[in-house]
Chains A and B, each alone.
Chain A
């Protein structure tokens, strides 16, 4: 029953959007009525989504999708998250989020009515495309042809609280760019005043903040669930989320500097189209099964071709409009040797080069395989050697950008900054010299600290400290940059100064980690609701009274016959001690311990960046 409701509401919602699309040409109606239709179709799409969720919650195995991806033994939270833990459901989630964005956009006040309507019509067009994709190739409401009373279970690796919320948040970013895309295209068609830029700014900030959160959650999950001790692997799925993120960052910065210059407006339109195109391209790469990862649920050529078609239509349409309808002429760009505008332009160029570099590395294997029938993989070494050096000058500029002036070459308080930079460099050099010197470590630490220091100086020297929302908004760019600085320190330390220790141990053995004695207490196996767990229990720092217990091990999921590794992590503010339990051989357990310095700084930095995103969105 719920499946029927879900399917019908999905189809009716697509029908309404089709009607709205036609309304531009045939049936014209009032704004009020138009907005009501948009909201109604959004609610229907949500109804469809919640019907599917309901089928998951009550374990309705007469729905084929539920049968394939759920199990009655699963805890409730994974029944709910199971709704989007599969291809069909996640595409429905995608469509629902698209609807939510249209829904809220229809409430935007103080903008030109026909502009708002055109934006929503483009959203309707996207809704139709993705809706048809779901109905024809990925219908989550198919009826199970056999009678069963048990399902096949959710991929165990996805049964994790962080991962339960990762897709909705990530999609909030990906799909959020659809509204930015629609706004930009509508802006091109209408060629009105610059009002749309301010609307676009708000939505691009929202999307970027969601995307940041989604990527960070995925990355944090990889850190503790995959058990490899790292948090970023330059995996194709990570790359395709990073591309719209960097392009989105460029977009947000461009929107900040817009002062009615034509060149910048063009650039903003280009970035708006690019962000959403990259999001759809990412969806295509993952869903078509061209890239294998935990995200490619099922490879199906017809789906791949359908999404490729959507990608081609959306991107082609976007860039074609961009080609034919240039923004109207206005002021020239105020570029000086070193002012805010030129710094932002350089940073934008660097970000786009970084995005293209990642794009090349991601699609290169596909091109090579088509041309030479050979499989190659492009991994960490390529990206580390190309992307990081491209970003470094950008980071340098970022540290001083907030103190540059818009109109002149003057740098306020330049002496103070030069002095601070020299002192800091010497300090970091001395610190690096006494620890084992590493060029990347030195560069990363210097950059990170310098960005934090410069931004802090800027806050304290330029403004009177007050605690109110207006003040928070004024210093917001600096705060965002402090977040980046903190993240850079975390990234540098955890990758360059990571330390690895290997042990072969019997139960009861003691060993030394980081100067502290650790006891390998015992191995314990237990039966949980839907898995069996094997845990090695470790007591860290047993010489102290308050020794800390760490559990590392594996879970075995009998339904899907899969083993997942569960790293044991002791979080301290300045380092994570990361335990991985390996296999047993000759009665000895292989235990790997990684010491990851300052990992927590990465997450802290990300949280600060997201906070800044939210503050920037909030109204004055």
Chain B
């Protein structure tokens, strides 16, 4: 009985170390939580254009083309940091469809933001109540999703994109 009591710490130690080791070796990054949506169909959405409320985009409109979806807002400072990168992507991959979702933003602020910093998106959808972001499981802005031709989410990134991420993680998928 006494032995078992003394052995317990060693067993606990072993369990903790095994789990930690598996975690480390699996190459998980705390900044990139696993997404339940990865390799699943893109959620069904419908959104009107920021510039013309009659212009509607739906899930089926992005079928058969690779799409990069980016959630952004004028009030989000990190979004401003990653913004210029979308122009690079635009230049390098003219085929790629860039869909921006403007998240919980007054349309006047959003328009001004895109006027000041430029608009790299093919389509800017309005997500004023944040319901689309909810469907995508957005944690915080900015967040970026890559959708393949079959309409499946193949990549997700939280936080501002960087040149490294673009080169090492996104480009191989394009």
Q: Is B34 an interface residue (CB 8 A)?
A: yes
Interface residues of A in 268-285 (CB under 8 A from B): 270, 273-274, 277, 281, 284
- Find the B residue at minimum CB distance from A374: B34
Query: How many pairs of residues, A versus B, come closer than 8 Å at their CB atoms?
Result: 71
**Cβ contact within 8 Å between B34 and A563:** no
How far, in whole Å, are A270 and B6 apart by their CA atoms in the complex?
Answer: 9
Tell me which residues across on chain A come within 8 A of B7, comparing CB atoms.
Answer: 323
Tell me which of A316, A320, A367, A369 contacts B28 (CB under 8 A): A369
How far, in whole Å, are A289 and B30 apart by their CA atoms in the complex?
Answer: 7
Q: Is B81 an interface residue (CB 8 A)?
A: yes
Sample of 16 further A-B pairs with CB below 8 A, known A288-B20, A315-B9:
A273-B9, A284-B20, A288-B24, A289-B30, A304-B20, A304-B24, A312-B13, A315-B13, A316-B13, A319-B6, A319-B13, A363-B16, A366-B20, A369-B34, A373-B34, A375-B34
Closest Cβ of chain A to B161, distance in Å, is 15
**Cβ contact within 8 Å between A316 and B23:** no
Q: Is A292 an interface residue (CB 8 A)?
A: yes
How far, in whole Å, are A105 and B66 apart by their CA atoms in the complex?
Answer: 66
Closest Cβ of chain A to B141, distance in Å, is 14
Residue of B28, B33, B34 contacting most chain A CB atoms (<10 Å)? B28
Interface residues of B in 59-100 (CB under 8 A from A): 75, 77, 81
Tell me which residues across on chain A come within 8 A of B22, comparing CB atoms.
Answer: 370
Tell me which of B9, B21, B29 contacts A305 (CB under 8 A): B21
Tell me which residues across on chain B come within 8 A of A308, comparing CB atoms.
Answer: 17, 20-21, 24
Q: Is A322 an interface residue (CB 8 A)?
A: yes
Q: Is A290 an interface residue (CB 8 A)?
A: yes
How far, in whole Å, are A277 and B9 apart by their CA atoms in the complex?
Answer: 11
**Interface pairs (21), CB distance under 8 Å:** A273-B9, A274-B9, A289-B29, A290-B20, A290-B24, A301-B25, A305-B21, A305-B24, A308-B17, A308-B20, A311-B17, A312-B13, A319-B13, A320-B10, A322-B6, A322-B9, A369-B34, A370-B19, A370-B23, A375-B33, A563-B77
Q: Is A299 an interface residue (CB 8 A)?
A: yes
**Cβ contact within 8 Å between A319 and B9:** yes
A583 and B6 in contact, given A299-B30, A370-B19 (Cβ under 8 angstroms): no
- Find the A residue at minimum CB distance from B33: A375
Q: Is B172 an interface residue (CB 8 A)?
A: no
Q: Is A415 an interface residue (CB 8 A)?
A: no
Q: Is A544 an interface residue (CB 8 A)?
A: no
Q: Is A291 an interface residue (CB 8 A)?
A: yes
- Find the A residue at minimum CB distance from B6: A323
Tell me which residues across on chain A come within 8 A of B77, comparing CB atoms.
Answer: 563
**Cβ contact within 8 Å between A366 and B13:** no
**Cβ contact within 8 Å between B36 and A374:** yes
A299 and B13 in contact, given A290-B24, A308-B21, A369-B34 (Cβ under 8 angstroms): no
How far, in whole Å, are A552 and B30 apart by their CA atoms in the complex?
Answer: 32
Q: Is B168 an interface residue (CB 8 A)?
A: no
Q: 8 tightest A-B contacts by CB?
A: A375-B33, A292-B30, A319-B9, A304-B24, A373-B34, A319-B10, A312-B17, A323-B6
How far, in whole Å, are A563 and B77 apart by their CA atoms in the complex?
Answer: 9
Interface residues of A in 287-304 (CB under 8 A from B): 288-292, 296, 299, 301, 304
Closest Cβ of chain B to A488, distance in Å, is 30
Residue of B20, B27, B29 contacting most chain A CB atoms (<10 Å)? B20
- Find the A residue at minimum CB distance from B32: A375
Closest Cβ of chain B to A364, distance in Å, is 10
Closest Cβ of chain A to B80, distance in Å, is 10
Q: Is B31 an interface residue (CB 8 A)?
A: yes
Contact with B along A528-559 (1 / 0, CB 8 A): 00000000000000000000000000000000
**Cβ contact within 8 Å between B29 and A299:** yes
Interface residues of A in 354-371 (CB under 8 A from B): 363, 366-367, 369-370
Tell me which residues across on chain B come within 8 A of A288, comparing CB atoms.
Answer: 20, 24
How far, in whole Å, are A290 and B66 apart by their CA atoms in the complex?
Answer: 33
- Find the B residue at minimum CB distance from A293: B30
Contact with B along A557-586 (1 / 0, CB 8 A): 000010100000000000000000001000
- Find the B residue at minimum CB distance from A316: B13
Question: Interface size on A (CB < 8 Å)?
Answer: 36
Tell me which residues across on chain A come within 8 A of B28, comparing CB atoms.
Answer: 369
Q: Is B26 an interface residue (CB 8 A)?
A: yes
- Find the A residue at minimum CB distance from B21: A308
How far, in whole Å, are A100 and B129 apart by their CA atoms in the complex?
Answer: 58
Tell me which residues across on chain A come within 8 A of B17, comparing CB atoms.
Answer: 308, 311-312
**Cβ contact within 8 Å between B75 and A583:** yes
Tell me which residues across on chain A come within 8 A of B75, comparing CB atoms.
Answer: 583
Contact with B along A303-334 (1 / 0, CB 8 A): 01100100110011001101100000000000
Tell me which residues across on chain B come within 8 A of A292, comparing CB atoms.
Answer: 30-31
Contact with B along A6-32 (1 / 0, CB 8 A): 000000000000000000000000000
Interface residues of A in 366-422 (CB under 8 A from B): 366-367, 369-370, 373-375
How far, in whole Å, are A374 and B23 apart by their CA atoms in the complex?
Answer: 12
- Find the B residue at minimum CB distance from A308: B20
How far, in whole Å, are A19 and B114 apart by their CA atoms in the complex?
Answer: 66
How far, in whole Å, are A291 and B20 apart by their CA atoms in the complex?
Answer: 11
Tell me which residues across on chain A come within 8 A of B26, comparing CB atoms.
Answer: 370
Closest Cβ of chain B to A378, distance in Å, is 14
A323 and B30 in contact, given A305-B24, A374-B36 (Cβ under 8 angstroms): no
Closest Cβ of chain B to A187, distance in Å, is 16
**Cβ contact within 8 Å between A366 and B21:** no
Closest Cβ of chain A to B118, distance in Å, is 19
**Cβ contact within 8 Å between B34 and A290:** no
- Find the A residue at minimum CB distance from B7: A323
**Cβ contact within 8 Å between B19 and A323:** no
Closest Cβ of chain A to B131, distance in Å, is 22
Tell me which residues across on chain A come within 8 A of B19, comparing CB atoms.
Answer: 363, 366-367, 370
How far, in whole Å, are A238 and B146 apart by their CA atoms in the complex?
Answer: 36
A316 and B10 in contact, given A281-B16, A308-B24, A367-B19 (Cβ under 8 angstroms): yes
- Find the A residue at minimum CB distance from B75: A583
Contact with A along B1-12 (1 / 0, CB 8 A): 001001101100
How far, in whole Å, are A319 and B31 apart by their CA atoms in the complex?
Answer: 34
Closest Cβ of chain B to A160, distance in Å, is 21
Closest Cβ of chain A to B81, distance in Å, is 7
Closest Cβ of chain A to B174, distance in Å, is 25
Contact with A along B129-167 (1 / 0, CB 8 A): 000000000000000000000000000000000000000
- Find the A residue at minimum CB distance from B22: A370
**Cβ contact within 8 Å between A291 and B30:** yes
Interface residues of A in 80-99 (CB under 8 A from B): none
Tell me which residues across on chain A come within 8 A of B36, comparing CB atoms.
Answer: 374
Tell me which residues across on chain B come within 8 A of A322, comparing CB atoms.
Answer: 6, 9
- Find the A residue at minimum CB distance from B29: A299
Tell me which residues across on chain B come within 8 A of A315, comparing CB atoms.
Answer: 9, 13
Closest Cβ of chain B to A304, distance in Å, is 5
Tell me which residues across on chain B come within 8 A of A320, comparing CB atoms.
Answer: 10
